[in-house]
Structure 1
């Protein structure tokens, strides 16, 4: 196990597009800064594992995740597999004393997720659960406006994230997959991060496209691919989430938060924010705030995990928050099937940040492309 201040040896489990693209982009940056070593990679496809090792200069590749999880030469394990495998692999890594980053969702059943939360309390390793939306500067700036009461008391919010759906990975369309776990989870994490635990959830859900061509094969879609979700935070505060593999394109803000004295809305998506717009009744005009870090990556949970290891501090993204998001999603799916509103039983302590001020540094950003 790496000690604070040491270079962290990282092993990857799952070498698909998420690992080879976004995560390795950040990992190379951390490696060049001397913060991590990318020592191992695992994939069930031996050729893909080999090609990944060669492409990214990773010296050790395997098809057995237990070899990485049990290796004394690996300090932190990144679980980047298909969603149904997240829970069991993250649990095994925590039980082995590793630091763990697990992609969203943390698991696909509440029983498995509950075990993860408990073992995370007992393990010497840190657990960071994607998505990392609460780490973005735009998210935190919006949190400050909400927490300071700049838009008054919040009554309503709406969030949206979807697209036409992947043409690879049949597991996306089978049990443990679907757009809510894959896409809507970002909105659930954002809204609960701002407003705290959900008390009740209801939904309409269905399968809009019953057959799809995936990996060049016509398959039956076995899960819902189209959702409208309503969240009740108590005290007459509600939010809606629109998500699905049912959208071809959209424009407009990803999230809008409506208060008694104003509105704040996120430009871009919450996994790829592009700043925000603020309306305050007293000002009588929209104010546009650019993103203070246009290069912020949605894989920032990896950087956060390394920071936590280096500084020996608990992650800001807590397992309890991830569990709550999973319960909300599972009960939304259940509500969509039988039309019955569900009570959400879990709770968590929402993240808090320095209240700060309104100073914006976006105008100082040069070449702001991501």
Structure 2
């Protein structure tokens, strides 16, 4: 059976859509899988600019108009965080496959509805972040599951940076600091996805969370010097319980201006696994290192797993940039397989984020009810 490229609508023409590592510029690497036919943005000038730059034939000022007037197979949702839930619901209600940026929504009601409607319409949903597609995260998952470091005791995940207002940023970063957004939904979602992708669903959450300073000054870019009022918590620290005395710590803040620690560390009874951060990898550090207490008889030591296959796959995925989300969606649609970046996983991460804010307010450990 001949596989035809999916006709793709792009909702949102901002940074994640158009920057060099973003979605639209890198669709050129998968022309056999996807045909971008329309772009919509409420700031229609942005959509028009993307249309001209990337040769997308149809331009719209709203999702409703795009869904009504163009024949689409799928939509990639690149809108700001607070409107993910509403717009994704409309997309699956229209019977279109969905690839959406993180998080899947900001309420459990919206997340549940997206999953239920997609199932009833027979459409596929994939949700960023894409980390569990990357070969070094999948390799760490395999190593942990095969008992390479023995029983896992705890993990540390760094999921923060200084915030978009802390350095040069091409647009107005104010909305990142407002209620409905913040570093938990913007950055913490990465660490939560990573550690649950490796260890599986968590069972309980406890957190501390608050606002470090009521105002921030944008340090670079066209809005340098602008004062931003901070209304979303910008400093959240999360503890996760995976059962059987396996725990994890995830930070989700806009207060990490620099760090040299690994991106992720997992400590087991017979060893340690760590994933380097992007800066270290760019400077030549191995993505994954493993310490085993029995590297050689009687001696512990660090090991660097090597695989040409994993390296080649990683190079392809790095080339795709954020378009890897669309690439994964098409593979799942064509092959009828459950996504690695499933909506159920995204819903579990969302429950963790919502309940960690509740936990911080109540000072209590809260049970989690979702799984994937």
Q: TM-score range by the shorter chain?
A: 0.7 to 0.9
1:230 to 222, 233, 239: 239
2:134, 2:156 → 1: CA distance?
19
Q: What is the DSSP-based 3-state SS (H/G/I as helix, E as strand, rest coil) of the residue aligned with 2:294? A: coil
Ranges of 4+ aligned residues in structure 1 off by more than 4 Å: none
**Unaligned ranges ≥5, structure 2:** 166-171
1:340 to 364, 369, 372: 364
Q: Say if 2:332 is the partner of 1:323.
A: no
Q: Work out whether residues 229 and 332 of structure 1, in 8 Å CA contact, stay in contact via their aligned partners in 2.
A: yes
Moved more, 83-92 or 61-70: 61-70
Q: Work out whether residues 141 and 199 of structure 2, in 8 Å CA contact, stay in contact via their aligned partners in 1.
A: no
* Offset of residue 137 of structure 1: 0.3
Q: Say if 2:228 is the partner of 1:219.
A: yes
* Offset of residue 133 of structure 1: 1.3
Q: Say if 2:99 is the partner of 1:75.
A: no
* Offset of residue 333 of structure 1: 1.3
Q: Give TM-score scaled by structure 2 length.
A: 0.87
Moved more, 222-231 or 62-71: 62-71
Q: Give TM-score scaled by structure 1 length.
A: 0.88
Q: Work out whether residues 6 and 310 of structure 1, in 8 Å CA contact, stay in contact via their aligned partners in 2.
A: no
1:304 to 325, 328, 339: 328
1:149, 1:207 → 2: CA distance?
40
* Offset of residue 151 of structure 1: 0.7
Q: What is the DSSP-based 3-state SS (H/G/I as helix, E as strand, rest coil) of the residue aligned with 1:114? A: helix
1:183 to 175, 183, 187: 187
* Offset of residue 314 of structure 1: 2.8
Q: Say if 2:203 is the partner of 1:199.
A: yes
* Offset of residue 296 of structure 1: 2.5
Q: Work out whether residues 231 and 240 of structure 1, in 8 Å CA contact, stay in contact via their aligned partners in 2.
A: yes
Other-structure match for 2:168: none
Other-structure match for 2:266: 257
Q: Say if 2:41 is the partner of 1:25.
A: no
1:6, 1:195 → 2: CA distance?
36
**Count of residue pairs the alignment pairs up:** 343
Q: In proportion to residue count, which structure has more helix?
A: 2
Other-structure match for 1:104: 102
* Offset of residue 50 of structure 1: 0.9
* Offset of residue 72 of structure 1: 4.8
Moved more, 3-12 or 73-82: 3-12
2:128 to 115, 127, 130: 130
2:111, 2:206 → 1: CA distance?
21
Q: Work out whether residues 209 and 236 of structure 2, in 8 Å CA contact, stay in contact via their aligned partners in 1.
A: yes
Q: What is the DSSP-based 3-state SS (H/G/I as helix, E as strand, rest coil) of the residue aligned with 2:4? A: coil
Q: Work out whether residues 257 and 265 of structure 1, in 8 Å CA contact, stay in contact via their aligned partners in 2.
A: yes
Q: Work out whether residues 275 and 289 of structure 1, in 8 Å CA contact, stay in contact via their aligned partners in 2.
A: no
Moved more, 306-315 or 237-246: 306-315
| Alpha-carbon displacement from aligned partner over 1:293-325 (angstroms, at most 9, x marks no partner) | 245346222111011122233322221111110
Q: Work out whether residues 160 and 242 of structure 1, in 8 Å CA contact, stay in contact via their aligned partners in 2.
A: yes
Q: Work out whether residues 38 and 70 of structure 2, in 8 Å CA contact, stay in contact via their aligned partners in 1.
A: no
| Alpha-carbon displacement from aligned partner over 1:125-181 (angstroms, at most 9, x marks no partner) | 210011121111001110111011011111110100211211323221112101011
Shift in CA distance, 70/128, structure 1 to aligned 2, threshold 3 Å: farther
2:243, 2:122 → 1: CA distance?
36
Moved more, 34-43 or 205-214: 205-214
Other-structure match for 2:12: 14
Q: Say if 2:302 is the partner of 1:286.
A: yes
Q: Say if 2:81 is the partner of 1:57.
A: no
1:169, 1:67 → 2: CA distance?
28
1:223, 1:114 → 2: CA distance?
24
Shift in CA distance, 261/109, structure 1 to aligned 2, threshold 3 Å: same
* Offset of residue 4 of structure 1: 7.2
Other-structure match for 2:169: none
Q: What is the DSSP-based 3-state SS (H/G/I as helix, E as strand, rest coil) of the residue aligned with 1:162? A: coil
**Unaligned ranges ≥5, structure 1:** 349-370
